[in-house]
Structures are given as C-alpha cells and as structure tokens.
Chains A and B, each alone.
Chain A
C-alpha cells in the first residue's frame, strides 16, 4: 500500500482539481479522497506537488531490438520515468521491424524484464514497413500492440492505406500516420523558408505534410477507421484535422514539444536541430500552440528518437533525423502553455493523460479500480536540463543546458515508485 497525500490532484477526465489523497493497493487505485487514513501504508508526501494520472507518450523510439547502442528498452524507459511517463508507445521501426507477433512478444518480454514503465508496442502497418503487403496485424493485436503505423514514412499509397484502415477498423486499432508527401521534394533536411535558403540547406515546404494529411483524412472518411496524425507540425495540417473533427470523423493528432517550442529560425549547422518533420515556421508554431490550448490537438507526444553520437556527429546533410525528448517534455509544455497563461494546468495534464488515452481508445483517470499509475510534478521547481546526465543512452537534444521552471518529481507505475527526483 502506498498513500500519496497532501497533493493537488488534477484529473481532467473527472474535471477534478483540488486537494486529495490517493491510496494505491495491489497495483490499483484503492481510494481517492480528502485526508485518507491508511494505517500501515507507506506514505509519499506530495505537498506542493500536482498529482496527475500517469502520463502516456504515444510516440517514441526505444531502438531495441537492433540499435541497442542508441537506446534499449531499459535505458529508454528509465528516461521516460524521469520525464514522468508511466506508459510509452514504441514505434515499430526497429531491426527487425515489429511487423509480426514474435517481435511484439520480444519487446513485451524485454519490457517485463527490464523496463521502468509500461511499454505499449505499436505494430507496423505493412510488412517490414515497406509499403507493400499488410503486416500480421491481427496476430500482433493478440500479442499486445495498441496501434499500427509505418512511422518514419507515410503508408506508401492511398490504396494500401485504405486496406490497412479497413483491416484495422474491426480490430479497433488506430492507424497512426507519419504524414509526408515524399514526392514533393528531394534531399530535404529542414523546413523550406528564409532560413533554409540562407543556410543553403534543402527544404521541404509545409505542404509536404498537409498534402498527405488531406489524403489520410479522405481515406478515414472512406473507411471509418480511426486516424491519428503523428508529430503534426504545420498549421495547414491542423486546419485539416480541425475540419475533419467538425465533420465528426474519428481523427486525432499529436504535437511534439520541439515543434511547439522551436522554429526553423532556430536551426543552425548542428544536427541536434534536425528532425522529421522539421522545425516549422513561427506561424505554424503559433497555430500548434492554439491547437494545444483549444483542444484541437489531442496529445503531446515526444517522438523521442535517440541516435548515437557517432551517427549524429556528422555534417547536417548526413545526420539522421530525430531528437530525444522524454525528460524535457513536461517542462517544455509548462514553459509554452501554462506559465505564459496560454492554457490552464488541467489542459496540460489532459494532453499527457486522458488525451493520448482517448487516441488509444482507453481512459486515464484517478478513480478507484483504475491502474495505480500516477505522475507527480512541480510547476515551479527550478532546474537545468543536462543531456550528459540523461538516463537515455543518447544525447541528441537541442535543449541541453536549458533552464526550466517545473519538473516531474516522481513517477508511480502499478503502485510502485518507478523514479523520484533527488533533491
């Protein structure tokens, strides 16, 4: 038994924000209420802290199997715990690709043996994510996947996407799209605009994403399956999602902390600013912040994409896309949304909890009988993020040395402390 007491419980699913204690027992939430009495229970004093439902990250790369020098399920989930995440959805672009149940089971077995937080695998939509035949989606669903995607690239053709969505619908799996029209550019390494032209780096326009989102929404309308747009970066894409939602289509989307914090104007010849989709324009960033605040965006997802120093410490053109993100996500969200007054704290919590849960067709709330997953954080703890001290095996973040106000303080998974901040 663990009693989390003296905290401020913020539970958007129940529209609750106030002082309450939470008693955890046998991996479940046993009771929630004021001044709980629990003789014999271990106690966690959450004075001054927000007690939120456990954070879910819809989008990360744990690199195991296949690229263990960059990250493992063990190191990645340790970093996730330090970021306040109690469950992370890992993308299927491992080596081998998670396109069949044996890979899914391998990931879950490794997670059971080594992970600090829950690991919810996402399966490939097509075999090898090659964009040809369907992957073994039903078998992976039985093994434990929570969605399908060919992330890293879009599902190759409209026809294949239609088949995937028709197939996923009765399985009740969302189809996650990395929306990018690859035929619009060649060799692009950042967003097209004044900065790309000045730096002489090849750019892709915002339309690269929006063209594909438009296609994806049309196939969603055709099939009725759930579409989730990953790491959305452009205003035009958001407008398409907003319009689809207005029409009642089952479309959701996520935004990453780096896209709502940085813009293409921040790009320098440093591969820690290279990710896909690339950092967008200032107007796009503004639109994303509005979407996060007004509910058009369903979730904040990290797209945590670790790469070894050797692979990333090269010319900008040659470096792989991606940045790490677990440990800075909450602090960046507080910085962009809550501290400037753009969104209330409950909205931020929703973006990390009931929002992503809804994308997966689940719920996330602090109520008796629910899994005992909690994220405890401070809205004003002052700290500096040091990439060298990260639990991730990789260091490819543009936020090294950034000073923050607000931080995860403890992560509770299945009633046990997965991590707590040392003073």
Chain B
C-alpha cells in the first residue's frame, strides 16, 4: 500500500489502509531513535516551517527534532513574536512564510480548522500540529504506534479515554484512528466535558459516566490532561475531579492486566493521575514521546520527500 499524502490535516479523513501505511513508514524511523548517530540526510536542503500560533513546547520540539534528524532546516514562528500580534491576517502570514520557499509547513493554531484554511490557500504541504478543539493527527498516529508496539496489534481493542473529552483534540484524533481498526472506544469524564454527540463522531464509540464501568476490560487507558483553566468554566472543584476520575492503581487494576496506560502530556501528577500509575510498568508515556519523533519524521519525509518508491526503506538510506 502506498498513497500520495498531500497534507496531514486530520485522521478522520484517512482510511484504515492509509493509516496502516503511515504507521509502517513510522516504524522504519523507530530504529533511528535507538542509534548513537541519529541524523539522516534524507531531507538535506529541504526546509520545514514550524508555525506555532499557540504556545507549545513538546510538540514543537518533537517536530523540530524530527526535521533535524532528517537533515532538514527549520524556520520557527512563535505566536508571541509573530506578526499576528501586529494585526496581520493568518492568510497573509502564511503566504509570507510560503514566499520563503519552504517545503512543508507545520501549523499549530487555537482556531479549529486553521490548517484546512491555509491548506486551501497554499501550494505546499500542511501538517496539522493541533488545531483548536479539533484534531492532532500526529498524536493519534504516535499513540497508535505505541499501542501496536505494546500489544502487538491494533485491531479490535477496548480503548478507554478519561477526562476532558470536549476540549481534547487528542481524543478526537485517537478515536478516528482506532475506530478504523475496529476498536471500541469508551469515553468517561464529567458530563460538561463529555457532550453526548461525541459518540456520533466515529463508529463504536460509547459514553460511560461511571469510571469503574468504563475501565472494565480495557486494553488501553488514556488519561487526558486536566487544564486547570477549565476547572474554572464552569467551576468544578479539583478535589471532586480527583475523587471521581483520578487514575489510581486500584482503578487501573479494573482494566485488563496488560492494559497500556497512556497520557498525551503534559501530565499533572496528583490531579488526573496518581504518581504510582504514571511510573508503573503499564505506563507508556515516555514511549509515546519517543514514537512522536518517529511518526513526525515519517510524515515530514512523505510530505517533503515526495512519494516513496516501492520497497525503499527511507530509514535505511544514507545515514549522515
């Protein structure tokens, strides 16, 4: 299976075969992360714009690392220093960036759909690094890669997400990826963060307000970050959240014994997650981070390097 990836705007529009292809491509880059010399020359001479209109540390560094390991140059735009502060429109800002002739633009933006907006206006590939409350497709892919590493498969798993689903682009991208592989998703969290319509966004998604029920038989337990600013709108006492939803060893024990515990980070120990769970052998949190670089290398390689020739292993070519 091979297909031409023009942009990576979300996982909803990708088929199972396309997702499987992206994951295969990512596996080819996983090995690089373990080598002492991690730099390839695959994208030497290419440049990647990292346009982060919303502050980010982890995702920006992960994309930057991925670009660097492929030999590409990166150009950084950060919200605080950008011309958007001076009143320039998004359309003009990205056209200006495009005029510097980069090969790919990676965008994070607080407005849902901003990557789609610029993809329609630019002639270069666009990667969505998180748009508003909508999607974060590389996170969905890196989570799927991590699950498949841990459990040896992606098909027909029970996937439970706990927390602020309403405002989570990570949840949406994960639901779209895993539902394509026939997984059954269970969503659990306080009602104001869990709109009933979430169960309609993909097949096999259900809502279960009781955490104990939601965890039963889960192969994967994903704990979402509680953004403390969200605790204020509407007021939800942090102690209430901890009491009802914090992932503790006792609660995790309700899932399958080999269940994988995931968190997209940044993690607040003692709020949504008990430190003992965060550090348990079931936790795959750091593997998620490592796999993030591999997935982003694969995505940048496919978008900036063009379509792969059949059978060629990009990771096996020209180590620098």
Contacts and interface: CB of A to CB of B under 8 A. Distances in A.
Interface of A: 186, 192-194, 196-202, 269, 310, 313-318
B169 interface: yes
Interface string B66-89: 000000000000000000000001
B108 interface: no
Contact of A200 (B89, B91, B117, B169): B169
A318 B134 contact: no
Interface stretch (B153-161, B194-202, B239-247, B280-288): B194-202
B172 to A, nearest CB: 7
A194 B112 contact: no
Contact of B135 (A200, A313, A314): A200
A193 B195 CA distance: 9
B312 to A, nearest CB: 35
A321 to B, nearest CB: 15
A269 B135 contact: no
Contacts of A310: 89
Contact of A314 (B90, B116, B172, B197): B90
Contact of B113 (A186, A193, A315): A315
A269 B116 contact: yes
A332 to B, nearest CB: 26
Given A313-B89, A313-B91, A314-B91, A193 B197 contact: yes
A315 B201 CA distance: 22
Interface string B231-264: 0010000000000000000000000000000000
Contacts of B112: 199-201, 269, 316-317
Nearest to A311: B89
Contact of A316 (B113, B166, B195): B113
Contacts of B90: 314-315
Contact of A315 (B117, B169, B195, B200): B117
Given A269-B116, A315-B113, A200 B197 contact: no
A100 to B, nearest CB: 32
Interface in B115-160: 116-117, 131-135
Nearest to B112: A200
B191 interface: no
B113 A199 contact: yes
Contacts of B109: 315
Given A192-B195, A269-B112, A315-B111, 10 more contacts: A198-B12, A198-B197, A199-B134, A200-B112, A200-B134, A201-B132, A269-B116, A269-B117, A315-B114, A316-B112
A196 B133 CA distance: 10
B111 A194 contact: no
A198 B114 CA distance: 15
A196 B166 CA distance: 10
Contacts of A202: 133
A197 B198 contact: yes
A45 to B, nearest CB: 46
A199 to B, nearest CB: 6
18 contacts: A186-B233, A192-B195, A197-B195, A200-B112, A200-B133, A200-B135, A201-B134, A202-B133, A269-B112, A269-B117, A313-B89, A313-B91, A315-B109, A315-B111, A315-B113, A316-B112, A317-B110, A317-B111
Nearest to A310: B89
B236 to A, nearest CB: 16
Contact of B197 (A197, A313, A318): A197
Interface string B151-181: 0000000000000001001001000000000
Contact of A198 (B117, B131, B201): B201
A194 B89 contact: no
Contacts of B91: 313-314
Contacts of A315: 90, 109, 111, 113-114, 117
A199 B13 CA distance: 12
A220 to B, nearest CB: 32
Contacts of B169: 200
A202 B12 CA distance: 19
B197 A316 contact: no
A200 B172 contact: yes
A197 B172 CA distance: 9
A380 B9 CA distance: 42
Nearest to A315: B111
Given A186-B233, A193-B197, A201 B89 contact: no
B233 A194 contact: no
A317 B195 contact: no
A194 B114 contact: no
B201 to A, nearest CB: 5
Contacts of A313: 89, 91
Nearest to A195: B197
Contacts of A317: 110-112, 132
B157 to A, nearest CB: 22
Nearest to A193: B197
A198 B172 CA distance: 8
A196 B134 CA distance: 10
A140 to B, nearest CB: 36
Interface in B16-62: none
Nearest to B119: A269
Given A269-B113, A313-B91, A200 B200 contact: no
B224 to A, nearest CB: 14
Contacts of B12: 198
